[in-house]
Each structure stands twice: as C-alpha cells, then as structure tokens.
Amino acid sequence: MIARRTLLASALALPLPARAGEPWDAVVDPATGTLGAALAQAEKAGRPFRILLRPGIFTEKLTVRVPGLTLQGSPGTVLQYGTAAGTAKPGGGSWGTGGSGTLAIAAPNVTLRGLTIRNSFDYIGARRDGAGNGAQAVALAVGREADHMIVDRCVLLGYQDSFYLQARSLITDTRIVGGVDFIFGGAAAWFEGCEIVTRYVPNADGFGYVAAPSTPAAQEFGLVFSRCRLRREAGVPDGSTWLGRPWRAGGNMALMGQAAFLQCWIDAHIRREGWTWMGYKGPDGEQRRLTPPEARLWEFGNAGPGAAPAGADRRLLTAEAAKRFTRANVIGF
C-alpha cells in the first residue's frame, strides 16, 4: 500500500501530456502527491513550467526558484504552514520574519492564480500566552529576486506580516487578510480590485496597520492600491485601525516609505488620522520615529465611511499629481 501510494505521488508530480485548454506540466492532488515534488520536477526541467493543484490542503513550507513558473489552484486549494519569527528551524537556529513564509518566491516572472495561502501559526494563542517576538508569520514572501511577480485571484491569510513584497509585483482581485503591518516591504507593487480585510483579535486595544512600506527614497513608487476595498471582520470596531506606517527597516536611512490608496472604498474601522509613525534605531543608536509627514503617504478619490480627508497627516494627492500613479508607471507591466 505504501509503495503504491509513493508511485501515485511520483506520477502526479511528473509532467503530464498537454490537454486542450489545460497545458499543465504537472497536476498534483494533495491526497497522493506534494507541491514540493512538483517544484523539484520544475527545477530539473530548466524552463517555464505550469503546475495545477487539485482541491485540498497542502501542508508544506516551500520556496519557488523556477523562473517563469505558473502555479494554478482549484476551488478549495489551500497551501498552509505554521511558522513564525522566532520559531525553531530544522537543523538549528530560528526563523526570522522573512523566512517564516508559507510560500516564498525567489525567481522572476512567477504567476500565482486561484490559491489560498495561509500561515497557520497560532497568533491568538501566542498573543494570549506572551509567546513569540510579536508573532510575525508571513503567508506569502516575494523576494528581491522575484521581479515581475503576478498574484491573481488568490487569498492570503495571516495575522501579523501576512504579505511581504520586495520585488515589482502586480496583485489583482486578491483577498488579503491580516492585522499588524500585514502588507509590507520595499517593492513597487500595484494592487487592483483587491479586498483588504482587517482581522478581529480578542482583547486587543487596537487593530493594527494595513500597510508598512519600506520604499527606498530613490524609488518613486511603493505600495499602491487602486480601486480596492478595505473591510473588516466582525468585531473590529470603528476607528481602530491605521491605514499604515512607514517602516525604516533596520534603521536604514535610505528608506522613506511610499504608499497610496487611490479610488478605494474604505470602511469605518480606519482611523480618522489615517497614518501614524513607526520607530527605528538611528545611526547614533538612539531610538527615533519616522513620521507620516516625512514619508510619502497619500490618498486620492477614496469613498466610504473611513475615507479622507481627516487629520493633518492624511494628505490628498492633487488631480495632477494622481496622474503619475498608473500601473505602467508604478511597475512597468
């Protein structure tokens, strides 16, 4: 029985003959195969590769290293793992935030479609028990090598640091769920038609920050949200959540966060002040704050009960300035 199961798993991870309308190089069923085996096959192929995942749960922590790979989910396909910053690595040491991701992308021109990617770390339990270093637990990590990343019609689930972006990315019609800094990084990224959902956390004083851009000062654009919907889970109160805060990662003075929300619908959980500061350690070792007026944090044409204007630090683009914020300008594709 074990031998037969192994043979089935291996077969499903091998390239299959292309069918009309389904030109898949590998089709994987979680009952009999693994995504890891299919990725290994893709690496051996040495060319762009297409993988279809059947419905079910894949409990795997993986890195994509194949340029041009397409990973397509089916309704009910879930990729999950439960690693957070500070949890032990196999072979010794512990994961950092960037290494905690359920799925990491480390190659250019990768496309993800129709997947649910979840970090299943017990954030609520860790918070209750005082465990972990803030419980950063990434669902999807797009590394610096992953230029021209596409995420389409996916669901990304976490609590703190759900989605980490460090390379040019296009994110369309995707549901992104989290709480603290749950869309973050130094990438130029264009989010279009996405649903961005703040999670409920029992006994929380506040409900976090949507965006934490760490954009290089020399880079014109960072995290740009176009025609997205900012919603909340049941129990998240009005005026409890920040649009975001600028992240000067590692105290790097060359980072000056950039984010913009353009023609989005914003629910009443977003605070009237909009943006807030984030602390960092300066070159002299002193603790400092990077404030919204120092960073490049903007809105334009938003609607809904949580939309601007409100507060001196919640700045609106002029119609002329907003013309610069196009998909072509932000990411070039």
251 in a domain, yes or no? yes
pLDDT tens track for 126-143? 888 776 556 899 999 999
pLDDT tens track for 142-151? 999 999 999 9
* Average of per-residue pLDDT across 54-74: 98
Q: Give the total number of structural domains in the chain.
A: 1
257 in a domain, yes or no? yes
Does 181 participate in catalysis according to the annotation? yes
Band the pLDDT of 199: cuts 50, 70, 90.
Answer: very high
Two structure tokens written together for 305:
């009960």
36 in a domain, yes or no? no
Instruction: Name the catalytic one among 25, 147, 181, 267.
Output: 181
Instruction: Name the catalytic one among 25, 122, 129, 161.
Output: 161
| pLDDT at residue 18 in the model | 38
pLDDT tens track for 273-308? 999 999 999 999 999 999 999 999 999 999 999 998
Distant-in-sequence, close-in-space partners of 295: CB < 8 Å, separation ≥ 6? 213, 246, 256, 257, 258, 275
Q: How many CB atoms lie within 10 A of CB 272?
A: 13
Judge whether residue 2 has pLDDT over 50.
no
CA atoms within 13 A on the CB side of 164: 26
d(CA 77, CA 62): 15
13 in a domain, yes or no? no
CATH number at residue 199: 2.160.20.10
Range of the domain at 66: 57-331
